Structure 1
Amino acid sequence: MNMQDPNTSASRSPFPVSSQGPANPNDSDSSGAPPAGKPEVVQQLERGAREAVEELAEDASTHVRRIQQTLSNAGESLQQTAQTLKETGDEWLQCLRGAVQERPLTSVSASVALGWLLGRLCRR
């Protein structure tokens, strides 16, 4: 059996142990300052990427606001159209009621004729 001393195996471990420092000495500290060992090109690329992401976020925000406004306007327009159609339907119903009350026999005759015509059309 191959028994190793735990202290020796820990020193060969690829994973950091609490007694060892950070796994990557180039990691930034808690202050957020860039690591001293980072090349200037990498720092410029990071700044450029951050600026591009911020610009894209602003553009997306503008487009989202525009879409929300358009949808809001469309919703208001639909409500107005629905209200207009409801009022028109109510007016037609009142007109029809008035016609039936003024000429009940004519209205019944027209209804029977219309029913007969629809029945003939549906049979074919």
Structure 2
Amino acid sequence: MHNGSTSTFSAADGPVQRGVHQVGESLHSTIDRVSAPAHGAVHRASASAHQAVDRLAGGVAAAAGQVDRRLGRVRDTPEQLLACARGYVAARPLKAVAAALALGWLVGRLGARR
């Protein structure tokens, strides 16, 4: 992982310069050895986080699909009830008129008592 940007030394360099270079190379090597496990841990944590987000997104998408289906049924219910009532009135017009009259009379009586 060391990028090798330290200056190279030549045979003309003194012992102090060679020592400094060797210490620098040793430090770079130590940093690379120490940071390698951290890179692996970060990669594993990142992969786990991505998997958790994918699972969460899948669950939310499934829940959203159920909500959409139920909303569709709720929206369709009044139309279905109206169609059912139309069918009942068309099949039994006298019963429907008698039921409407009875219901109107009952509502009128209950409203008159107040």
Q: Above 0.5 in TM-score?
A: yes
Query: Of residues 105, 109, 113 in structure 1, which corresponds to 2:102?
Result: 109
**Alignment partner, residue 63 of structure 1:** 52
**Alignment partner, residue 78 of structure 1:** 67
Q: How does 1:1-124 map to 2 (within 5 A)?
A: 29=5, 36-38=25-27, 41-99=30-88, 102=93, 103-111=96-104, 113-114=106-107, 117=110
User: How many angstroms apart in 1 are the aligned matches of 2:103 and 2:60?
Assistant: 45
**How big is each residue's C-alpha offset from its partner over 1:61-93, in whole Å with a ceiling of 9 and x where there is no partner?**
111111111111111111111222333332212
Structure 1 residues not aligned, in runs of 5+: 1-26
CA gap of 1:112–1:41, structure 2 versus 1, over 3 A, is: farther
User: How many angstroms apart in 2 are the aligned matches of 1:28 and 1:115?
Assistant: 96
Equivalent residues, number: 90
Structure 2 residues not aligned, in runs of 5+: 7-23
Q: Percent identity?
A: 19
RCO comparison, higher one (Cα < 8 Å, 6+)? 2
* Bigger proportion of residues as helix: 2
TM-score with structure 1 setting the length: 0.53
SS state at 1:56 partner: helix
